[in-house]
Amino acid sequence: MEFGLGSGGGGGGGGDESARRVQVRFTTKLGPPLRVPSASLAVPSNLTRMGLSEIVNLLLKNVNDEHKVQPFDFLIVGELVRLPLEDFLLAKGISAEKVLEIEYIKAIAPRKQPNPSLHDDWVSSVDGSNPSYILTGCYDGIARLWKGGAECTHKLAGHTGAITSAVIINGKDDSKHTFHIATGSKDRSLRLWKVLLSTNFDGIDYSEQPVNVRESKILQGHTASVQSVSSDPSGDMICSGSWDGTIKLWEVKNSDADGDSVSIKKRRLISNTANQVESQLEVEGVAVTTFVGHSQSVSSVIWPEHETIYSASWDHSIRQWDVETGKDTWNMASCKMCGKVLNCLDVGGESSALIAAGGSDPVLRVWDPRKPGSLAPVFQFSSHSSWITACKWHRKSWFHLLSASYDGKVMLWDLRTAWPLAIIDSHKDKVLCADWWKDDSIISGGADSKLLVCSGVSI
């Protein structure tokens, strides 16, 4: 069967009848409603992915009259097609003499939230690990919980400086009605919070007014701003990275079990109908241990496995730490990183072993520490135009990660192509933080004081 497209060729030049033809067979892992017949077709060799997508939609329409046109992406030998078909085959050294198998997948088409959630100052941190609530940290010193990403239900007020990091501690003793949260701040402290999600506390309905929550524990010991906080997989401990160049580990315990090691005093809080306050315990705790090795600010920490912590620093290095010994077991200090500081890192991808990091240039880099003898990045993505402030791997995909930048954009990447799958430019100022939410949405915050949600990110 031969395929010729109408004028414009779906953006692929398919209307040129003199174009060379290539025999292709479309395959997919998608379900039967989006599965085309397996017969080979002759298509113009100068088609782009838009032209290929038009063909697949025509084939699906032939099978099902009710099919609604949608965009697709295409993989050849495991790599996403981002060039005209003939140019891609030439660049990859793939012969066009045999039937070419092309796998199609759903294209990424994020839908922007119409009404962003406004804050009183810069949004510096977002956590999308809970499918029902989004946690944000703000330069006004308050962390907030947003039900469904839109309704602020709880305010966590207690820091005397801007919040730089806010994370949900997914501990084994948590229930769907309780959140344990850790925050770090420019006031040099960390604070732990226990948030009850019940809409009825002490017989008062809080659905019309956010609940003001006070900290259950104050963790002090850093001598400069706390830049990043992360919890271990069990939720029993957290770690923090600071401008003082150190990484500290802290225990997370229930307040009633802390009396032996910390001073506890009961705080009575005045409540009124306009501004209800949850009464909790105020506890001061000290670090279990301190990791020393970085020579400048520790800008980001991540604790993906019980025995391993990763850190990024303004000293241009990424380090892997053994939790038990406190020694760095992998050090990227000698990597020629263009002399740039590092602002963010995350661990994920294949076997959760790849390290992504960004800093004070527009390049997002990915390393594989399993490759001995080389500190060169295995991937580099360079479509941003300013500092990179955040990067996050998708929790269920080996290929997908996102990045945020001072250029006001959030970009979605796939390791199988050097071009961004999607560019989200909803912010009007610097983007300071970003995360995945519910596996199919991207959340971000920035200097425009907005929390933005983009849904429909099919991975």
pLDDT digits (tens, 9 = 90+) for 137-188: 999 999 999 999 999 999 999 999 999 999 999 865 556 678 899 999 999 9
pLDDT over threshold 60, residue 205 = no
Q: Is the pLDDT of residue 274 over 50?
A: no
What is the rounded average pLDDT of the residues 214-240? 96
What is the rounded average pLDDT for all residues in the chain?
86
Single-letter amino acid code for the residue at 416: R
Taking only the tens place, the pLDDT of each residue in 368-378 is 988 876 678 99
Q: What percent of the chain stands above pLDDT 90? A: 73
- Given a cut of 90, whether residue 12 has pLDDT beyond it is no
Once rounded to an integer, what is the mean pLDDT over residues 89-102?
A: 92
Residue ranges, comma separated, of all CATH 3.10.20.90 domains in the chain are 9-106
Strand, coil or helix: what is 274? coil
Specify the pLDDT at position 333: 65
Distance, in Å, from the CA atom of 360 to the CA atom of 385, rounded to the nearest integer, reads 10
What is the pTM assigned to this prediction?
0.84
Q: What is the rounded distance in angstroms from the CA atom of residue 176 to the CA atom of residue 347?
A: 27
Sequence ranges of the chain with CATH classification 2.130.10.10: 111-455
CATH topology assigned to domain 9-106: Ubiquitin-like (UB roll) (3.10.20)
In the 8-state DSSP scheme, what is residue 416? T
pLDDT level of residue 286 (50, 70, 90 thresholds): confident
Residue 234 vs residues 16, 27, 50, 231: alpha-carbon distances, Å: 60, 41, 46, 8
What's the confidence (pLDDT) of residue 113?
Answer: 81
Q: Is 41 left (phi over 0), alpha (psi -120 to 50) or beta?
A: beta
Which residue bears the tokens 């909803």?
426
Looking at 208-217, 291-300, 432-441, which range is the least confident one?
Answer: 208-217
pLDDT of residue 459: 79
* 443 pLDDT more than 70: yes
DSSP summary character for residue 32? G
What is the per-residue DSSP string for 373-391?
T--S-SEEE---SS-EEEE
CATH of 111-455, one of 2.130.10.10, 3.40.50.1970, 2.40.30.170, 1.10.600.10: 2.130.10.10
Alpha helices in 65-152 (DSSP H): 85-92
Residue 18: per-residue pLDDT: 56
Give mean pLDDT, residues 235-242: 96
The CA distance from 126 to 404, in Å, is 12
- The rounded distance, in Å, linking the Cα atoms of 20 and 44 is 6
CA distance 163 to 140: 7
Q: How many CA atoms lie within 13 A of 407 on its CB side?
A: 21
> Looking at 32-36, 74-78, 170-174, 316-320, which range is the least confident one?
170-174
Q: Identify whether the C-beta of residue 278 lies closer than 8 Å to the C-beta of residue 211.
A: yes
Q: Residue 408: its pLDDT value, please?
A: 97
